[in-house]
Structure 1
């Protein structure tokens, strides 16, 4: 159907969230309904670092290698830049997108599991709205919503930047309104800078083509 991936993602998110609410009846799962092993999992540590930190580092390293050292990673970048050209290059665009969606779903499930283990509560409303924070972190990290531009490292830096803002501003008694305003301004600035960078890169490519 050639629908933008981000539109499909947000649309299906709403559908699944609504279906989950209907199936569960909006019920909450509290700590007394969870096993002790599940609750204590996130408290474990290895070499001085929490298990959650090791899992995050492992996921980052794994996807860095996938995106920079494998054929599927190069195919993902190519499809993001130009899906039509990718077809002519022999890349199975549909299959690659399907794999990406499956991997995204798996990582989302892992994140949900770790979130519930950390905060010991589960409901349909948990982490509601965090999808926008994730998009913001990616944009701040230099990832283009249109695709084809960005890196795993950029996404990590964007997430760290938003995390620093969300944790530092309350410490200096900044009101919630101004916290959202500052975060929103940072996102808008990142989008503008990304757009200018893409236009500049396009002009450079055009000049090289004309010179050739």
Structure 2
């Protein structure tokens, strides 16, 4: 859907944000599958940058990835899709939920997330699967942040080597535990994904409301309730 709002294009030097990698951008965009975004293409040549593609409000249906080479963006119209090649990208910036892909030909693309959604069906299916694997879904205890911190402080006493979580958008993240994060302000794990990339799963003390400890004979299950999300976490 075309947006009628007029807007002045900014030059590349005026863009602000933190640098992120190609892999981080793809992971972010995949987490926005089902969300509404605005897409803008700007050509920055001369004194006056020009918007060369109309601003659209559309839904991201799917993001396909070809290893470390490119990603393909499928929009709500099944005929509407775009390729983005890593080799033509000079820099990627993130400013909140706005992303700038700066290319080597003085052009940049802006992705602005208009509506974030929680894929509740995917979350429900994942939790149902966890319930089935447990056999008996038994809530054994409710932990405070300090209780969870104490457990992680003694993590070496256990034989857990793998962690899995499901974020609010229904994305399953799993990997081998490389490091345990324990502090008065933040807890979590640095993990190695199956593709060899490193990422961090962490939780801020000020955001945690409660932690439910769920046990069976082999794995360790937690439901981490934060102010704006619920995260299932499994240790194996």
> TM-score under structure 1 normalisation?
0.24
Which structure has greater strand proportion? 2
Which has the bigger relative contact order, CA under 8 A and spacing at least 6?
A: 1
> TM-score under structure 2 normalisation?
0.23
